[in-house]
Amino acid sequence: MTEKRCYYEVLGLERGVSDDDVRRAYRQAALKHHPDRNPNDPSAAQKFKEATEAYSVLSDSDKRSRYDQFGHAGIDGNGFDFAQSGIGDIFSHFQDLFSDFFGAAGPNPGRSGRTGPRRGADLRIQERLTLKDAVLGCKREVVVRAPAPCEACSGSGAAPGSKRQGCPTCRGSGQVSSARGFVMFTTTCPHCHGEGSLIAQPCGKCNGGGQVEKTRKVLVTFPAGIDTNQRLRVPGQGLPGMLGGPNGDLYVDVEIEPDERFEREGPDLITRVNVSFADAAMGTSITLPLLDDSELKVDVPAGVQPGEVISIKGRGAPRIDGRGRGAMHVQVQVEVPRRLSARARELLAELNQELQGGSNSSKKRANAG
C-alpha cells in the first residue's frame, strides 16, 4: 500500500501556517490539478483528490491538531475517504468552497438553490391617456390584477399552525447533482421542484401556492410630456417576492388617445385653423385655445397660402427630459364659400378684374421696356 504524503507537503505549506494560508494553498492546488483543466493528464484526478484530502484535515482545527500530534494515525477513520471517492462526491462534499473557487458556472453551482429570498417578478400593464393629461402631466390610479401574498398563511403556503419542511431529496438546496466522468450536472430537484422545502399541510385558501389573485390600485405619476410607447417604472409594485424577497416592479406602457384639435409629433403639436379668403388676403389675428385652457394669439400674415404652416416655438409639449418645449405648428386652411350673394359676386368680379388688370399693366410695362 502506498504511504500517504504529508498533508503540508501536498499543499506546499510549513507547519504553523494560518487558516487563510491553508485555504489559499488549496485554491492554487485545486485550480492547478482540476481534472477539467487537465483532460490529457491521468494523474490530475489523483492529485486533485490528494489536495482535497489534505485540505479537509488542515482546514479543521480539531483534525489538524490530531494530525500535528499523531500524523495520519490521528485522523484515520475520522474524515471523508477521498481515496475511494469520485470527483462528484468531492464536489458534493465541498459545494460552497468550489462555488467560491470556480464561480456560478463551476462544478457545483447553485448551492443556495432556491431556498433563499427571491425577488418577485415584474408586471406590465398599458394605460391610455388623453393628450391633455400627457402634455400637462397627471396622477392616476391604475388597476392591477395580480397575485398577492395569501393572508391566511402569510405567503408560506402552509396551513395555519404548520410550516414547511426541508426536502429530504436535495436537503434543502433545491437542486440535485450527478457526476458524469469529471463533469458535474446540476438540475432542479424533482421532489420539491426547486423550492428546497415541502408542504405537508397546504393552506386551504391558496392551496399551498402562498398567493391569491387580487385587484388593487396603484397611484402612478405621469410626467408632463410623456408620449406613446414610453414606459414608466413603479418600483416595488410588481409581484410579491418569495421567502422574504423584495417585490418586483410595475411597468406602465403609455398610449395617447387621439385628440380632436391637436396632433402630436414628438414634442411638437400640430393644429389647423380656418380663415376666410379675405382674411388670408389681408392678414388677420386669431385666438387659439390651448390644452391648458390658456389662449395663444396667432398672427396670420397677409397673402398666406392655403396649407401654409405658421410655427411658434416653445408652445408645444414639454420635453420629458426637461429641455424646454416643442413648437406649435398652425396650418392655415382658407375657406372658400360655396354660395355667394349677388353683391358678393359683384365684388369678387371687380376684385378679379382689378387683379388681372394689375397683372396686365405689369406685363405691358415689361414689354414696353
- The residues near 353 (Cβ < 8 Å, ≥ 6 apart) are none
2-6, 11-15, 20-24, 106-110: least confident range: 106-110
- The residues near 132 (Cβ < 8 Å, ≥ 6 apart) are 259, 291, 292
CA 144 to chain CA mean position, Å: 18
223, 208 Cβ separation under 8 angstroms: no
Residue 182: per-residue pLDDT: 60
At position 189, the amino acid (one-letter code) is C
Q: Which residue has the cell 408652445?
A: 315
Above pLDDT 90, what percent of the chain?
A: 33
194-218 per-position pLDDT tens digit? 778 888 888 988 888 777 888 899 9
pLDDT band at 82 (very low <50, low <70, confident <90, very high): low
CA 351, CA 345: separation in Å to the nearest integer? 10
* 79 has a pLDDT exceeding 70: no
CA 231, CA 253: separation in Å to the nearest integer? 5
Q: What is the pTM of this model?
A: 0.54
Sign of CA dihedral 17, 19, 24, 28: positive
Pick the CATH number of 114-156+209-257 from 1.10.10.60, 3.20.20.70, 2.60.40.10, 2.60.260.20: 2.60.260.20
Average pLDDT on 335-347 reads 87
Of the two residues 82 and 33, the one the predictor is more confident about is 33
9-32 per-position pLDDT tens digit? 999 998 888 888 888 888 888 888
Closest CA to 320 of 256, 262, 261, 272: 256
Of the two residues 63 and 113, the one the predictor is more confident about is 63
Average pLDDT on 282-302 reads 94
Pairing of strands 250-256, 123-129: parallel
For 234, the grid coordinates are 413603479
CA 196 to chain CA mean position, Å: 27
Q: Which residue has the cell 391637436?
A: 262
Average pLDDT on 267-295 reads 93
| DSSP string computed for 333-358 | EEE--S---HHHHHHHHHHHHHHHHH
Residue 101: per-residue pLDDT: 52
Residue 142: per-residue pLDDT: 93
* CATH number for the domain formed by residue range(s) 263-335: 2.60.260.20
pLDDT band at 104 (very low <50, low <70, confident <90, very high): very low
Residue 109: per-residue pLDDT: 40
Residue 219: per-residue pLDDT: 95
pLDDT band at 35 (very low <50, low <70, confident <90, very high): confident
54, 10 Cβ separation under 8 angstroms: yes
* 147 has a pLDDT exceeding 70: yes
77-81, 146-150, 341-345: least confident range: 77-81
- The residues near 332 (Cβ < 8 Å, ≥ 6 apart) are 272, 273, 275, 280, 300, 304, 305, 306, 307, 308, 309, 310
Of the two residues 239 and 77, the one the predictor is more confident about is 239
* 69 has a pLDDT exceeding 80: no
Above pLDDT 70, what percent of the chain?
A: 83
* 106 has a pLDDT exceeding 70: no
Of the two residues 20 and 367, the one the predictor is more confident about is 20
Q: Work out the burial of residue 196: count CB atoms within 10 Å of its CB; fewer than 13 is exposed, 13-18 middle, 19 or more buried.
A: buried
Domain 7-79 fold is Helix Hairpins (1.10.287)
- The residues near 188 (Cβ < 8 Å, ≥ 6 apart) are 174, 175, 176, 194
pLDDT band at 51 (very low <50, low <70, confident <90, very high): confident
Average pLDDT on 115-132 reads 86
Of the two residues 177 and 360, the one the predictor is more confident about is 177
Residue 308: per-residue pLDDT: 95
Closest CA to 22 of 57, 50, 69, 72: 57
245-262 per-position pLDDT tens digit? 888 999 999 999 999 999
DSSP 121: P
CA 16 to chain CA mean position, Å: 51
Same CATH fold, 114-156+209-257 and 7-79? no
Residue 90: per-residue pLDDT: 53
139, 222 Cβ separation under 8 angstroms: yes
CA 149, CA 67: separation in Å to the nearest integer? 53
CA 183, CA 57: separation in Å to the nearest integer? 25
Of the two residues 366 and 306, the one the predictor is more confident about is 306
Closest CA to 55 of 90, 99, 22: 22
Q: Which residue has the cell 406590465?
A: 124
- CA contacts within 13 A on the Cβ side of 180: 2
Domain layout of the chain by residue ranges: 7-79, 114-156+209-257, 263-335
Residue 222: per-residue pLDDT: 95
> What's the mean pLDDT when you consider all of the chain?
82
With H, G, I as helix, E, B as strand and everything else as coil, classify residue 364.
helix
Q: Work out the burial of residue 310: count CB atoms within 10 Å of its CB; fewer than 13 is exposed, 13-18 middle, 19 or more buried.
A: middle
